[in-house]
Structure 1
Amino acid sequence: MIRPFLILLSCGAAAISASAAAQDGVTQRVDRLEREMRAVQRKVFPGGNGQLIEPQITAPQSQAATPGVPATSAVADLTARVSSLESQLSSLTGQIEQNQYQLRQLQQAFEAYRKSTDAKLAAGVAPPPVISDAAPPPRDVAAAGDTRDAPPPRITVPATGGNRAAQVAAVAKPSSGDAGEDAYTYGYRLWQAKLYPEAATALKKMVADYPQHRRASFAQNLLGRAYLDDGKPSLASIAFYDNYKKMPDGERAPDSLLYLGQSLVQLKKPADACKVYDELGEVYGDRISAAMKADVARARTAAKCK
């Protein structure tokens, strides 16, 4: 009788040992999954203090054991916890992937919107250049009797053949003691010598170096003239518009609106040119000279404004 009892006891101990080993293995799985869950939740829900959220799928609640029904084992409980954590981890992983996909879509949509907006702005302010031979004649304000904008004295540029560097070198740089005035006068002389790219460079530098100088408005307007005379009405329109917007009280702001309208006409946008002429009259109507009013009237006629 003793030997069968020992065999039975040994089998029971082995079963208990196997159960304990299984329980330890499942516990390790639970611990590992819970650590992974915390890592995932810190990514998806930052600021959660590392606490687990309520799982979307939970293990079924165990009911009170009834007589004659064996209680749920610890291994079964751990297995249920593992199943719940695995389901929750799968759900959060899917949510992360969905959020990343939506973020990529938002980034792509924003990039498309930015490009579209840039294109519209470029089309409205600086459309592709349309070269035209019908450039408007330069407006000599001094000859028209408007002494407030009398240009620097005209100079005679010596003949230098086709050597452009020599032509530029032949334009004298003034030295009156007023650096801003001298910078504008030098740009004007380059423009007068029809060295338009060099004039544009000098005039842009003058505006950048002396933005508060009285001649800054003159230089920005003449920059537009240089582009216009060089067959670049698109760049000219930007220069004229900048002078009006950035220095609306400058002495050459009204002139820039007039030339902006002429640039738009060259760009085949007469309707926009008419709007510019309307704004010129509304903003500066009581400040412009009779000569400029006559120029505006001729420009409106050329653009077929109503």
Structure 2
Amino acid sequence: MRRFPVVSFMVVASALSGTPAVAQSNVEGRVGRLESEMRAVQRKVFPGGAGAYVQPDNTPAQAQTVIPGTPAASPVADLTARVDSLESQLRQMTGQVETNQHRIDVLEGRLKTIEADAAAARAAAPPAAASPGGFGDTSAAPSTMEQSAASRPASGRSQSGSGASSRPAPGDASAPTMGNPTRGTTAATADRSGQVAAIERPETGDTVEDTYLYGYRLWAAKLYPEAEAQFKTVVNKYPKHKRASYAQNLLGRSYLEDGKPSLASLAFYDSYKTWPDGDRAPESLYYLAQSLVKLDKPAAQVCKVYTELQRTYGAKVDADPKMKAGVAKGRAASNCS
């Protein structure tokens, strides 16, 4: 009969006896890692320590009381209890997440209600009667040369020689209270916000057309800064659109009527140079001359602009009686030969 060496039996016995210990160590390691991840989740879901169901990492383990004669719990039972505790905490956190989601849904519903009420209020406001006008525009209300920027006083200034003061008259509701200067400013700001809100935004489905028309309505209501923002949007974002020439021209007119002839002259010149074939190129040259008059430039410069207008767009000027009369009047005022 063949005998195995004593050493071989000892090695096998040692390997077999160590297997349960290794398995238990692996399971405990996995459960320990699971508990660590759960603590990280709890710190994320319950900031500030609220709802922390697992003891902090630095809390010393409590000594277990061993009753004499009672067998110690098996490692499997201990691991099962820890997994049950983790599942219970996970269910509680899931409930908290569902509660938060419900609150978010309620807030979104309230926000939609507020937006719907605001839209209904805008729809109920009386629309402002405004349409894009200008020289030769047969699809809209025409503008008259008698109301051009050359004959209008700058906004917020008194006419020269009139002696009129810009100080509000006694009892004027727009005049600020002497005891509280900010009250008048606040009232003026609220009044302007109401004027802007009263201007209806067109909704034709064409973004460029709607932006230009809204800017025109603001300009017609003399809300110049707000109108300028709309015109700049059209010019900068859609320079190849047909309305770009219109928007650049009205941007210059808005500057001119708002008492900014220097900015107006730049806007009109850019309109003529960038869109020489645009529908509003002739008007831009005409109002460029008006801007130079406002800036007290030499008559020779003004006459040069009128000459360029007639040389480049003579047929369009002759076809529009109002523009033709305005050019003749402007040349006469500047003594152009």
TM-score, normalised via structure 1 length: 0.49
TM-score, normalised via structure 2 length: 0.44
